[in-house]
Amino acid sequence: MRTPRIKVSPQEGAALYHCISRTVNGEHLFADADREQFRLQMWRVAEFCGVEIITYAVLSNHFHMLVRVPEQVTVSDAELLRRYKILHPQPNKYQTAKLEALAQKLAADGDADATRWRRQQLALMGDVSQFMKLLKQRFTVWFNRRYERYGTIWSERFKSVLVETGRAARVTAAYIDLNPVRAGLAKDPKDYRYCGYAEAVAGGAKLRAALTVLFEQREWRTAHDGYRQILFGAGYRKKNNAASLSAERVSRVIASGGALSAAEWLRCRWKWLTNGAVLGSKEFVSLHAQRYRRLARLRRDQRPRALPAAADGDGAGLAVLRGCR
């Protein structure tokens, strides 16, 4: 049975989510052209849904995104039509005629068809589930046409972790941008075209603005310097070597009384960042744990699980809703 997804209502304010989805059987389906198309679709759907992309990483068999869903805003008919055009950048003559007719009906106000269409489009906006559903559906249609196949390409519904703003969000962003480094696809995330950090370094204005706010800075250069230090501290480990370095190496270091660096701590906590359901301070996690209990009709309270911190204090104070081995 599916468990309810932990989300914040748009009426309550903005919220950050770490979203993950994988291909069926983890098959490496996506070539460079496919990842580029996914990136383009991602930006179009995000603009339509009113969702802000903080960073992302698209690999050959899965993707990660850190997205911000804003608090509820009023969307005018003019804005609605603008977003719809972004979703359909090259409409055929029938779509163009339909759009013109809709514009006239919306201007008339009170038309039943226009009212129904407006309600349907607004229902897709300001919700992380609708954003992910629309993105995955549109990319699946494109992918199946390109390779003359049919059926789903995704293994299951997407996973999401509700992330608190501040340090928890910055740790999550670094984890996402380091995916190509861990997979051995690049030694520096700036060299991997299909991740948010590389797009920001290349001049992506939206991502630069998002990361600058994430690091609570006023200028991109200052935010970049701090972020790059985090990335380089936690990176430079290929996926094939990670298995021999993870649990066994950490155990040896702890047994010998050695300290784990912030870099090692981040590498060893990756499952907490993808499977923890809620990531943030204990107060933040407790708040959403109580809401989740009511939503899922659970009998027992779910208490925050504190992340073991590195010896230098990195990670101290962070917690998740669901503990991981």
Q: Which of 170-184, 195-209, 247-261, 285-299 has the lowest mean pLDDT?
A: 247-261
| Residue type present at position 319 | A
Show contacts of 123-126: CB within 8 Å, 24+ apart.
124/48, 124/49, 125/48, 125/49, 125/50, 125/75, 125/83, 126/10, 126/49, 126/50, 126/51, 126/69, 126/70, 126/72, 126/73
Would you say the C-alpha torsion 235, 189, 320, 242 has a positive or negative sign? negative
| Mean of pLDDT values over 257-276 | 55
* Whole-number pLDDT of residue 315: 53
Of these ranges, 19-23, 216-220, 227-231, 254-258, the one predicted with the greatest mean pLDDT is 19-23
For residue 236, how far is the Cα from the chain centroid?
Answer: 22
Task: Give the pLDDT score at 39.
Answer: 96
DSSP character for 6?
-
pLDDT at 241: 45
Does domain 15-72+128-275 match CATH 3.30.70.1290?
A: yes
| Six token digits for residue 109 | 């106000």
Contacts 24+ apart (CB under 8 A), 28-36: 28/60, 28/61, 29/60, 29/61, 29/143, 29/153, 30/58, 30/59, 30/60, 30/61, 31/60, 32/193, 32/194, 34/143, 34/146, 35/59, 35/60, 35/193, 35/194, 36/193, 36/194
- The H or E element containing residue 164 is none
Bridge partner residues of 279 (DSSP): 163, 320
pLDDT at 198 over 60: yes
Pick from 135-139, 177-181, 253-257: least confident:
253-257
Domain boundaries along the sequence of the chain: 15-72+128-275, 77-122
What percent of the chain has a predicted confidence (pLDDT) above 70?
Answer: 79
pLDDT tops 50 at residue 253: no
Q: Evaluate if residue 137 carries a pLDDT over 90.
A: yes
pLDDT digits (tens, 9 = 90+) for 277-293: 788 888 888 877 777 77
pTM of the model: 0.76
Q: According to the model, what pLDDT value does residue 325 have?
A: 55
